[in-house]
A = this chain, B = another copy of it.
């Protein structure tokens, strides 16, 4: 793992959290192009509001991203926006850049004011830690964690016009995960930083964000709760002047797609209290309704607890489809859990509970739901997790 050309990282402890790293910075040596996606939640972090403002003014010459964990900087009083701006101003001053060139992201408890003074006091320390070495990347990736148990980095090298280029993706997120992101409009929060020294044009970046990154990061749920802080920053070192042809772009898109897939699985497997990850595939159903059905199944407490226990209670999956609000014929529905078809034409296929349970005790398997409705539709994929007693323990005393 190494930094893409032009990027430096730092992660320190500033006392926002009781212990551990809690403040991170990515610094760009040259102004870079940034395309962003933010939560659809009407409640929005002050950090998102300020980042949106700065992107509007200066998205083609972004110079750094400051990120804190331990505080969502959301619904935290009248001074929230002003405090956020002051942090950006102070950081810009120390880095000798303009404050619109600073982006900011936050994750943690909603409703508590960002400890502005602690952050400002530690800026020099944060800046002095900047480096492009592996440890700095890890420090940054660690500083943005909340209930995450491990830092999450996906790294790929790709050859473009005979030059080695780097795609580095850093993310966090383990609870309050059910992202619903929108391009360039501004929730735990999932924070994703996809950083590269490939020089895309703005339209190429927007297209990749819209076509690949957003659909992937919107395709999973840990607990169904979309955060007010979800943010993806996709940053490209466009000073380097690559002019990508279609073939090169296609190749890079495939890399990015694989990075997204790999990162989503990292997020899922490190979800709060997660012991199992389930890939739900909806077949023969139009996308709009497949989204509703997969969401209903993915967030059903009875389905998620059955996943946890490996309890072969497939009736709960069928019942969740039936209550989703989507109209379909029950007698056309077929459902597979792993390699067993448990539902045939809307009825039990009489597979032994023992066999189904064995499949459901694996830590990763597929549930295929064929609705037999729209025959030419592409399969729709959505990931979910089980719901464990540990999840309840973690979240019943998050703040206390």
Seen from chain A, the residues whose Cβ lies within 8 Å of a Cβ on chain B are 39-44, 72, 74-78, 80, 109-113, 175-176, 178, 180, 187, 223-228, 299-302, 305-306, 308-316, 318-323, 327-328, 330, 342-343, 346-348, 350, 353, 357, 387-389, 391-400
Contact = CB atoms under 8 A, between A and B. Distances in A.
Given A75-B318, A302-B225, A319-B227, A313 B110 contact: yes
A313 B318 CA distance: 34
A320 B187 CA distance: 10
Nearest to A386: B396
Given A396-B308, A396-B309, A74 B315 contact: yes
Contacts of A223: 301-302
A210 B113 CA distance: 48
A306 B395 contact: yes
A316 B321 CA distance: 27
SS class of chain A's interface: helix, strand, loop or mixed? loop
Contacts of A112: 348
A66 to B, nearest CB: 22
Contact of A75 (B41, B300, B309, B348): B348
Contacts of A350: 77
6 contacts: A74-B319, A111-B348, A180-B323, A227-B319, A312-B400, A353-B399
A400 to B, nearest CB: 5
A316 to B, nearest CB: 7
Given A306-B398, A315-B72, A391 B301 contact: yes
Contacts of A110: 313-316, 318-319
A309 B396 CA distance: 4
Given A111-B313, A225-B316, A357-B400, 9 more contacts: A42-B322, A44-B322, A44-B330, A74-B319, A110-B313, A110-B315, A225-B301, A309-B395, A389-B389
A85 to B, nearest CB: 17
